[in-house]
Amino acid sequence: MCGIVGYIGNKKAYPILIKGLSRLEYRGYDSAGVALLNKDKLTIYKKQGKVQDLVNFIGDFTTDGHVGIGHTRWATHGLPNDINAHPHSAGKGKIALVHNGIIENYAILKEELVKRGHKFYSETDTEVLVHLIEDIKEKSGVSLQEAVRIALNEVIGAYAIVVTSTEEPDKLICAKKSSPLVIGLGEDEYYIASDATPIVEYTKNVVYLEDEQIAIIDKNHGLKIVSISNQEVNPYIQELEMQLETLEKGGYEYFMLKEIYEQPQAIHDSFRGRLNAKEGWIKLGGIANYIEQIANADRIIIIACGTSWHAGLVAEYYFEDLARIPVEVEYASEFRYRNPIIRKGDVVIAISQSGETADTLAALKMAKEKGAILLGIVNVVGSTISRITDAGSYTHAGPEIGVASTKAFTTQVTLLAMMAMMIGKKRGTIKEAKFQRLLDEMEALPSKIEKLLESDDYIKEISKEYKDCTNALFLGRGSAFPIALEGALKLKEISYIHAEGYPAAEMKHGPIALIDENMPVFVIATKGDNYEKVVSNIQEVKARKGKVIAIITKGDTVVKEIADHTIHIPDTDEVLVPILATIPLQLLSYHIAVMRGCNVDQPRNLAKSVTVE
Ligand code: G6P
């Protein structure tokens, strides 16, 4: 987590840095800061709180300078206060640095540096790194770039850094390992950021720095990249496809609401050119070369975190049902530390919106070492996971800025359904009629979601009744069970109401004890194989005076009779119900959170891109 930015060129750096930090705020928002280099002077401003708090604090203070670095923080080492905020500096303000990641051996390094007379003010690992760089520079009389390189050879951990110094005012030095860093190339100017969103409005030409690479950006001599072992590397310049409008709220109160409403388009984009119901085919070009291996795999292991893990759980139903391949779905953070059995030829699918989640990345690297085939289902184009996997497909949801994942999830599920259908077809495990019906239903999804979104006002009305609850239960069976988990996660992360997702039948093994007249129970009770059983579960809740809010199939009168509230979704094949059933739960959480006065785009303690373990 944490977002970092940098600018060097002929424009005033400060507004560029602030705008960039606002774009990166999804990565962390407990404090923010900038360092501005003007002539031979470095001025650092930093403040606890959001980027706007920093701007208010700076007010009319001087913000001149054409070189600068900035940071928005998600605290790891030390409280989120002014002192621990970045940038950190050393050498009496000669060098300043911003950092995203964790320096794991900071304590040993700090001890050494303290012995050599260095004074530390913050509790951060980052301050140790900037002192180490300064110490090496002073001791060895080397350039800033060389001091950074030597220092990085001494640190263990993850970093994306940007360094500036009054002694070399025409340069910015950046480096990365495990945390992302992108460099935008303008006309005699350079933009640096944790992702491309702060860069896209200035230039479309970018270089994604690779692990253990150091970029030396010289205003007069351009960009040079060397490896941490000092081998020069040719920069690979890529063109950004991102559109600026996708980064703005476009009239919505929150990004989350905008992103919920973008789902018809996002889902359409996720299958556009990859599926044709009329001609009866699905083609996922990104995995075309691996179809044989996937179809012949003994098993598929899915690794992910958070909401993406829920998409993995839905995919377990898809691959087992449609392609008849055994699937295991793992939390990346557990998988990587469990010494799991991975056989050569196992297919490992990583699901990740950001493509940067530290645990997912580490789990992938481990699986690679053991000979697995790695596939990625990723949203952010060019992200690390998309680059280290053997093959994969982008979800094409477009930038998702609200911390709570919405359109990224439904497009992940859409793509995984397509993948399972394609493999099922190849293996002959899916009947032709079912395949065709799913193709038709898939193509109809965007318009069905449009229809569903028309219930938003009604969902808002229902939300009013539950905004003050302290607990909530979400129930579902079969592939709707992961949707119950996702519904509970959405509610707890943005409204801070304690919520649990449960398989509906498991309710009687524990959660039923919680049910009373104050407990809202959100149940996915759509038509399908488990329908009657779910209806019985609803009866059990009602018998204990619980409040039932049921997601039902349009036209269902049975559940309507028993439940306190029903929200209907358009009829579709059972396989695609998870996608439609998610949307009313997103809206319920959203409205409840807004009514409770929560900042739904930036919930407390969370960050969108979790680049630390
Ligand atoms: C964080 C985000 C979640 C996301 C999870 C996994 O917790 O707040 O929305 O689902 O990370 O992130 P990824 O980018 O790998 O999907």
Write the CB contacts of 203 (distance below 8 Å, at least 6 apart in sequence).
Answer: 184, 185, 186, 191
- Write the pLDDT tens digit of every residue in 279-298: 999 999 999 999 999 999 99
Q: What percent of the chain has pLDDT over 90?
A: 90
Asked if residue 179 has its Cβ within 6 Å of ligand 1, the reply is no
End-to-end CA separation in angstroms for the chain: 10
So what's the pLDDT on residue 344?
85
Give mean pLDDT, residues 110-138.
Answer: 96
Tell whether omega for the bond before 198 is within 30 degrees of 0, i.e. cis.
Answer: no
Indicate the pLDDT class of residue 178, thresholds 50, 70 and 90. confident
pLDDT at 234 over 90: yes
Task: For residue 309, report the distance from its CA to the centre of ligand 1, in Å.
Answer: 9
Q: Which of 236, 370, 354, 246 is nearest to 304 (CA)?
A: 354
Ligand 1 near 354 CB (within 6 A):
yes
Q: How distant, in Å, are the alpha carbons of 475, 493, 563 from that of 498?
A: 15, 9, 22
Whole-number Å distance between alpha carbons of 529 and 321 = 13
Reported as a pLDDT band with limits 50, 70 and 90, residue 78 is confident
Tokens of 412: 């992940």
**Ligand 1: which of 492, 608, 611, 612 to mutate, most ligand atoms within 8 Å of CB?**
608
- Per the rule left: phi > 0, alpha: psi between -120 and 50, beta: everything else, 424 is alpha
- Secondary structure class of 432 (helix, strand, coil): helix
Active site residue 2: yes
Ligand 1 in reach of 177 Cβ (< 6 A): no
| Given the residues 47, 177, 407, 608, the one annotated as active site | 608
Flag whether pLDDT at 613 surpasses 80: no
DSSP secondary structure letters along 245-303: GGGS-TT-SSHHHHHHHTHHHHHHHHHTTTEETTTTEE--GGGGGGHHHHHT-S-EEEE
- What separation in Å is there between the alpha carbon of 108 and the centre of ligand 1? 32
pLDDT band at 606 (very low <50, low <70, confident <90, very high): confident
Residue 348 alpha carbon to ligand 1 centre in Å = 18
Whole-number pLDDT of residue 39: 85
Tell me which residue has tokens 């490896």: 227
Instruction: Compute, in angstroms, the gap from residue 405 CA to the centroid of ligand 1.
Output: 7
CA distance 543 to 562: 10
Of all protein residues, the one whose alpha carbon is nearest to atom 1 of ligand 1 is 608
407 CA distance to ligand 1 middle (Å): 12
pLDDT number for residue 249? 86
Task: Summarize pLDDT for 550-582 with one digit per residue, the tens.
Answer: 999 999 999 999 999 999 999 999 999 999 999
> With 90 as the cut, is the pLDDT of residue 511 above it?
no
Q: 267, 210, 273: which is closest to 236 by C-alpha?
A: 210
For ligand 1, the distance from its centroid to the CA atom of residue 609, given in whole angstroms, is 6
Confidence of residue 441 (pLDDT cuts 50, 70, 90): very high
Ligand 1 nearest atom to the CA of residue 606, by list position: 8
Question: Ligand 1, from 1, 2, 27, 354: best to mutate by most atoms within 8 Å of Cβ?
Answer: 354
Mean pLDDT across the chain, nearest whole number?
A: 95
Average the pLDDT over 157-163 and give the result. 95
Question: What does the alpha-carbon distance between residue 273 and residue 414 come to, in Å, rounded to a whole number?
Answer: 14
On the question of pLDDT at 35 being above 90, the answer is: yes
**331 CB under 6 A from ligand 1?**
no
Q: Decide: helix, strand or coil at residue 188.
A: coil
What are residue 474's phi and psi, to 5 degrees? -125, 130
Q: What is the DSSP letter of 87?
A: P
- Beta sheet of 327-331, edge-to-edge order: 327-331, 300-304, 347-352, 373-378, 391-394
Q: What is the pTM of this model?
A: 0.86
Atom 7 of ligand 1, nearest CA residue: 306
Which stretch of 38-42, 413-417, 455-459 has the lowest confidence by average pLDDT? 38-42
Per-residue pLDDT, averaged over 312-322, amounts to 98
Q: Is 357 in the pocket of ligand 1 (CB under 6 A)?
A: yes
**Closest to 267 measured CA to CA, from 360, 417, 396:** 396
Cβ neighbours, 10 Å, residue 249: 12
Band of residue 366 on the pLDDT scale cut at 50, 70, 90: very high
Whether residue 346 is predicted with pLDDT greater than 90 in this model: the reply is yes
Share of the chain above pLDDT 70, in %: 100
Q: How far apart are CA 433 and CA 573, in angstroms?
A: 12
Mean pLDDT of 83-98: 96
- Determine whether the shortest distance from the Cβ of 353 to ligand 1 is under 6 A: yes
Residue 543 Cα, ligand 1 centroid: separation in angstroms?
37
pLDDT at 211: 93
Residue nearest ligand 1's atom 4 by CA? 306
Range 52-63 average pLDDT? 96
For residue 476, the SS3 value is: strand
Residue type for 41, please? K
Query: Confidence class of residue 244 from pLDDT cuts 50, 70 and 90?
Result: confident
What is the CA(352)–ligand 1 centre distance, in A? 7
Amino acid at 344: K
pLDDT digits (tens, 9 = 90+) for 382-401: 889 999 999 999 999 999 99
Q: Exactly one of 2, 174, 305, 598 is catalytic; which is it? A: 2
| Residue 447: predicted pLDDT | 97
pLDDT of residue 9: 97
User: Measured from the CB, is residue 608 less than 6 Å from ligand 1?
Assistant: yes
Beta carbon of 407 within 6 Å of any ligand 1 atom: no
The pLDDT tens digits of the residues spanning 65-76 come to 999 999 999 888
Higher pLDDT, 44 or 178: 44
Across the range 594-610, mean pLDDT stands at 90
Task: Verify whether ligand 1 is closer than 6 Å to residue 558 (CB atom).
Answer: no
Sign of CA dihedral 308, 309, 314, 320: positive
Q: How far, in Å, CA of 268 to CA of 109, rounded?
A: 51
Ligand 1 pocket, residue 403 CB under 6 Å: yes
Distance CA 578, CA 257 (A): 19
